Amino acid sequence: MSKEVFLDLGRQPIANKFVSTEEDSNNEYFFDLQAQFDPETKLVSLANFVDPPKLFNEDYPYRAGASPATREHFKKAAQIVDSYLKQGTKVLEIGSNDGSFIGCFDSDIAVAVEPCGNFAKETRNNGYDTYDAFWDGDLAETILSNNGPQQVVYSANCMCHIPDIQGAFAAVEKVLDTDGVFVFEDPNALFMLLRNSYDQIYDEHAHIFSLIALEKLLANVDMHIVKVDVMENVHGGSCRVYAAKCGSSHWKPGSFNAPPLLEFEKQHGMNGIEPYIKFGDRVSHSKQLLRKTLSGFKEEGKKIVSAGATSKSTVVFNYCDIGPDLVEYITDTTPEKIGKLSPGKHIPICHEKEHLDDTVDVAFLGAWNFKDRIMDKHSDKDYLWVTHVPEVQVI
Contacts to ligand TMP by CB under 6 A: 308-311, 331-334, 337, 352, 367, 369-370, 373-374, 377
Closest approach of ligand TMP to the CB of residue 142, in Å:
31
Taking the least distance from each CB to ligand TMP, the nearer of 155 and 334 is 334
Handedness of CA 268, 270, 274, 279 (dihedral sign): positive
Q: CB 380: neighbour CB atoms within 10 A?
A: 6
What are the distances in angstroms from CA 199 to CA 101, 174, 179, 226, 265?
26, 34, 37, 30, 20
Per DSSP, the residues of 148-159 read --EEEEEEES-G
Distance CA 12, CA 204 (A): 12
Q: C-beta of 381: minimal distance to ligand TMP in Å?
A: 13
CB of 145 to ligand TMP, least distance (A): 36
Least separation, in Å, of the C-beta of 308 and ligand TMP? 3
Instruction: Decide whether 250 or 353 has the Cβ nearer to ligand TMP.
Output: 353
259 versus 366: smaller Cβ distance to ligand TMP: 366
Q: How far is the CB of 324 from ligand TMP (least distance, A)?
A: 18
Q: What is the CA radius of gyration of the chain?
A: 21
Sign of torsion over alpha carbons 319, 235, 203, 277: negative
| Residue at shortest CB range from ligand TMP | 308
Q: Least distance (Å) from ligand TMP to the CB of residue 62?
A: 7
d(CA 178, CA 198): 38
* Residue number with CB closer to ligand TMP (33 or 270): 33
Nearer to ligand TMP, 139 or 234 (CB): 234
Phi, psi torsion values for 109, nearest 5 degrees: -120, 10
Closer CB to ligand TMP, 180 or 348, in the complex: 348
